[in-house]
Chains A and B, each alone.
Chain A
């Protein structure tokens, strides 16, 4: 079980959090024309890197804040966590 440092609450066990995917994905702006391919990429396609991955986690059983985590997908090492307003 991972130990994740919520930037608001401190270190907590993984079972307080839920995973929210790649944090580098940006939702296309509302009301803007989006080509089919870009929209497909946004909805369905994600990189699946072995190694460093910046991701979103939600502290559901805590402060209920979403935040960013830089994690190694093969070793589970967590290098850094940050608030949404901060850079990883």
Chain B
């Protein structure tokens, strides 16, 4: 297939390597070095998509990241990527792309009916129309609107690619490799700074690749190539292409993505698709260049109407003519370069210039080449549905409110230029207060808030000479602050054309009695009439106009539209642009795939997994695991076809009848040492600790300063100045930080050290009436009688040669022990206990049985210590020392905490003794009361009691124990249940605690 619009010469493409690709199902060819956009244009394809709202046919506007229209869907299936910008997609063998937001096809799109209804779909249409009836929004309006107005389709399968993150530091980060970027990178590098130069494109050089200039005795391109080679050879420089710095964050943290895979024909499977770089730069040089603004005129959004600079770039970089009958429409001199390039390649362009005249060398050159120029003229309107085919051109009248005559001129493309807008996005993101430059009619960086400096056209300097001077000067000055080496580089001489002043006239009037659509924001379908409407309706702030019309809110973030929109608002309001101000620039500068941002933190890599030393044993014994914070804990050990509830019942019953073993490694453990340790615990816990004897454990409750229960656990006095604290699994990290805070910040005078030892100890709880007999087998030397090792006793002893700690503590409410050994011996301990317990019917039990046992005993856990309860709410008032002060004590006498009808802990059983009460159910008096039914409390935890073989729950209920014996209803609208329940004591089993002391 021929590439009809490809020139024989020009461009930096590799004509020896032909590449095939598919667009909308049809096969085409391009060359290595093409983008998807240039390859399509080489084949004469302009129509690439449909506009967002009215489904108007749309073609390319730009040639780089500014492109608002050419958003395409790449590939299929899991690999598919929506909203890829065709001008930024490098052509690679086998690329598959299709148009978005059109059905059944881009050339015949049924949604285009919206264009004929456009009178009824102005700005704010959705807000105004779909307000009523309210319930329709969610189910009817929104899904339909979403289908017709939209971009690409997100993949439904997991992303098959891999993405990586990288952290880097440097002295100077230079963003953009145009003349000023190259100059400043070179100057800074020669002065000894560690430099990173980042270029978004595959090729370095920026405007040097397309402009006819010389630097020293070389062409711009030669100088750029040579400079890059020089930078690459320096050990203190990192040079990156295909790398877009898209975000400028606090303390000079820059975020950049690098495209590492998509452009490679057959990539190694180990290459990540993209890399996200976090770069902490001491200084940042923003040399991001500038973007050409379109002109606004009737039907200026037809395919075939492009920016003049884009047309030039397609000729110079890719050897492509965007058309063969071009009109160049401009208010400044830079577009004449485009006309000259057409002429040089044998095409006769017509230049339409709104200005009265221009005498610059570039205009002269155009004249000398015989290019037809119409000054004081403008394009009023265009024709051609799927591609522009003519322009209505007229002479502007004196006050430029209308036209003196209009004629129809056939054309196949229109190259527009409304002057240049510095790319200030990153500077603005850094906190730079921009100022409006009256000469170029655009915002430029002004007052830096961070170590950020803009150079070149990003700073409003549009000549090569100034860009180079600026670059070398700033590159030296900034690097010298850091290196102090004083190695200055000379600025090479340069030669360029001379450009005159633009005229700030950019929005063409409508011919009499015509209401052509004049597009301001191509991607979001915002027209001059929408902005006029917004202002008529009273929106004044530019931020409000933006949100009402969606101007600049699309994925291109208004790169081509923002300033035109601002100027329009200022004109209508009779204000000057700086008064109107600009909208906020936010990261990302260009769209970034979510995969890149997430990096390797997907699936199991999302967060670390903590496993106990006995994990492999649990796996071999059919454990079903549950996440407990970062830990994986056995929830139950499945036998045959058991359900969770059946297994928990079996495991729990075995603890009550024989003996069970539970992995409690995940409990937080904190080693506390120092002469003031007891005093410290006395302040941290609500109960008394000074007199705890060595070799004894005590249960403790901690409060927050505001009186709310924070955590609970047992702490053992190992020796006079040495304690072993346990915390809940969930709060282990927070308790350590809490202790550190008080030791370091509040009471630095206390001589205490705390250290987490959670991972150093493997823990097994051995619980049940037969646990004493088992312990005797495990530790023949210990006197395990109730006198020898009483409840809350502690011993250190060898377990078949392994040093172990034995605590007589119980969470299950049964006679129980907890054995700790060093983690490496955990599996040995576990197997030994299983082996010696076999004859007693030992069975492992998981967290589900553990919960069942603690719930029916009325022991509180995380579902009751929920950040809202104080000790008396949980029947823990006995734990509060009256003799000493402790953290949170002062808060307990606050009025709300003394209120007698606070919600307090109780037990709940269903009256039918059969129905499990869903956790989270609300307790109410009358199940038929009108909504909102007054809530008396809620169910915090539910289990099937193994002791009584019926359901039992804990609840936090208004007035608590006073209601014992009352009948209420547990309502769970989520599960559509209302259950009649009876309030009982929270201590359902062994209320006197005789078993643990037996």
Given contacts A18-B737, A39-B891, contact A3 B280 (CB under 8 A): yes
> Does B211 interact with chain A (Cβ within 8 Å)?
no
Could you tell me if A43 and B740 are in contact, using CB atoms closer than 8 angstroms? no
The 8 A CB mask of B240-253 against A (1 = contact, 0 = none) is 00000000011111
A27–B748 CA distance with the chains assembled, in angstroms: 13
Given contacts A18-B737, A43-B891, contact A2 B706 (CB under 8 A): no
13 additional A-B residue pairs with CB within 8 Å, beyond A58-B737, A60-B737: A1-B249, A1-B278, A2-B251, A3-B253, A13-B280, A18-B737, A20-B745, A27-B746, A31-B884, A43-B706, A44-B706, A66-B745, A75-B449
Residue of A nearest to B742 (CB): A27
> Does B44 interact with chain A (Cβ within 8 Å)?
no
Could you tell me if B250 and A39 are in contact, using CB atoms closer than 8 angstroms? no
A44–B250 CA distance with the chains assembled, in angstroms: 29
The 8 A CB mask of B256-293 against A (1 = contact, 0 = none) is 00000000000000000000001010000000000000
Could you tell me if A66 and B251 are in contact, using CB atoms closer than 8 angstroms? no
Could you tell me if B741 and A75 are in contact, using CB atoms closer than 8 angstroms? no
> Does B885 interact with chain A (Cβ within 8 Å)?
yes
Residue from A39, A76, A84, A85 in contact with B251 in the complex, judged by beta carbons closer than 8 Å: A76
B856-884 contacts to A, CB under 8 A, are 884
Could you tell me if A58 and B740 are in contact, using CB atoms closer than 8 angstroms? yes
Could you tell me if B741 and A2 are in contact, using CB atoms closer than 8 angstroms? no
Between-chain CB contacts (< 8 Å), 10 pairs = A1-B251, A2-B250, A2-B251, A3-B253, A20-B745, A34-B890, A42-B705, A43-B706, A65-B744, A76-B250
Residues of A within 8 A of B706 (CB): 43-44
A34–B888 CA distance with the chains assembled, in angstroms: 13
Residues of A within 8 A of B251 (CB): 1-3, 76, 78
Residues of B within 8 A of A42 (CB): 705
Instruction: Kindly state the interface size class of chain A when it binds its partner.
Output: 20 to 34
A17-33 contacts to B, CB under 8 A, are 18, 20, 27-28, 30-31
Residues of B within 8 A of A64 (CB): 740
Residues of B within 8 A of A28 (CB): 890
Residue of B nearest to A44 (CB): B706
Residues of A within 8 A of B312 (CB): none
Residues of B within 8 A of A6 (CB): none
> Does B431 interact with chain A (Cβ within 8 Å)?
yes
> Does A56 interact with chain B (Cβ within 8 Å)?
yes
> Does B355 interact with chain A (Cβ within 8 Å)?
no
Residue of B nearest to A40 (CB): B894
Could you tell me if B744 and A66 are in contact, using CB atoms closer than 8 angstroms? yes
A13–B250 CA distance with the chains assembled, in angstroms: 11
A13–B165 CA distance with the chains assembled, in angstroms: 15
> Does B502 interact with chain A (Cβ within 8 Å)?
no
Residue of B nearest to A66 (CB): B744
A2–B252 CA distance with the chains assembled, in angstroms: 8
A12–B597 CA distance with the chains assembled, in angstroms: 21
Residues of A within 8 A of B958 (CB): none
Could you tell me if A84 and B744 are in contact, using CB atoms closer than 8 angstroms? yes
A64–B250 CA distance with the chains assembled, in angstroms: 24
Residues of A within 8 A of B431 (CB): 75
A78–B160 CA distance with the chains assembled, in angstroms: 42
A34–B893 CA distance with the chains assembled, in angstroms: 12
Shortest beta-carbon distance from B173 to chain A in Å: 14
Could you tell me if A30 and B885 are in contact, using CB atoms closer than 8 angstroms? yes
**Leading 6 A-B pairs by shortest Cβ distance:** A3-B251, A30-B885, A31-B885, A76-B250, A66-B744, A1-B253
Residue of A nearest to B740 (CB): A64
Residues of A within 8 A of B745 (CB): 20, 56, 66, 84
> Does B683 interact with chain A (Cβ within 8 Å)?
yes
Shortest beta-carbon distance from A71 to chain B in Å: 11
Residue of A nearest to B741 (CB): A66
Residues of A within 8 A of B890 (CB): 28, 34, 39
A39–B888 CA distance with the chains assembled, in angstroms: 11
Residues of A within 8 A of B741 (CB): 20, 58, 66
Residues of B within 8 A of A78 (CB): 251
A39–B893 CA distance with the chains assembled, in angstroms: 11
A34–B744 CA distance with the chains assembled, in angstroms: 23
Shortest beta-carbon distance from B884 to chain A in Å: 8
Shortest beta-carbon distance from B675 to chain A in Å: 18
Shortest beta-carbon distance from B248 to chain A in Å: 12
A50–B167 CA distance with the chains assembled, in angstroms: 32
A18–B740 CA distance with the chains assembled, in angstroms: 13
A42–B45 CA distance with the chains assembled, in angstroms: 70
Shortest beta-carbon distance from B817 to chain A in Å: 32
Residues of B within 8 A of A66 (CB): 740-741, 744-745
A48–B280 CA distance with the chains assembled, in angstroms: 29
A68–B170 CA distance with the chains assembled, in angstroms: 27
Shortest beta-carbon distance from B735 to chain A in Å: 13
Shortest beta-carbon distance from A5 to chain B in Å: 11
Most A C-beta atoms less than 10 A away, residue of B249, B280, B890: B890
A20–B748 CA distance with the chains assembled, in angstroms: 17
A30–B742 CA distance with the chains assembled, in angstroms: 12
A39–B895 CA distance with the chains assembled, in angstroms: 13
Residues of B within 8 A of A3 (CB): 251-253, 280
Shortest beta-carbon distance from B742 to chain A in Å: 9
A19–B449 CA distance with the chains assembled, in angstroms: 23
Residue of B nearest to A58 (CB): B737
A31–B748 CA distance with the chains assembled, in angstroms: 17
A47–B886 CA distance with the chains assembled, in angstroms: 26
Residue of B nearest to A78 (CB): B251
Could you tell me if B744 and A1 are in contact, using CB atoms closer than 8 angstroms? no
Residues of A within 8 A of B449 (CB): 75
Residues of B within 8 A of A56 (CB): 745
Residues of B within 8 A of A85 (CB): 748
A64–B739 CA distance with the chains assembled, in angstroms: 11
Could you tell me if A30 and B683 are in contact, using CB atoms closer than 8 angstroms? yes
Could you tell me if A84 and B748 are in contact, using CB atoms closer than 8 angstroms? yes
Residues of B within 8 A of A13 (CB): 253, 280
Shortest beta-carbon distance from A65 to chain B in Å: 7
Residues of A within 8 A of B891 (CB): 39, 43
Residue from B250, B683, B705, B885 in contact with A1 in the complex, judged by beta carbons closer than 8 Å: B250
Residues of B within 8 A of A44 (CB): 706
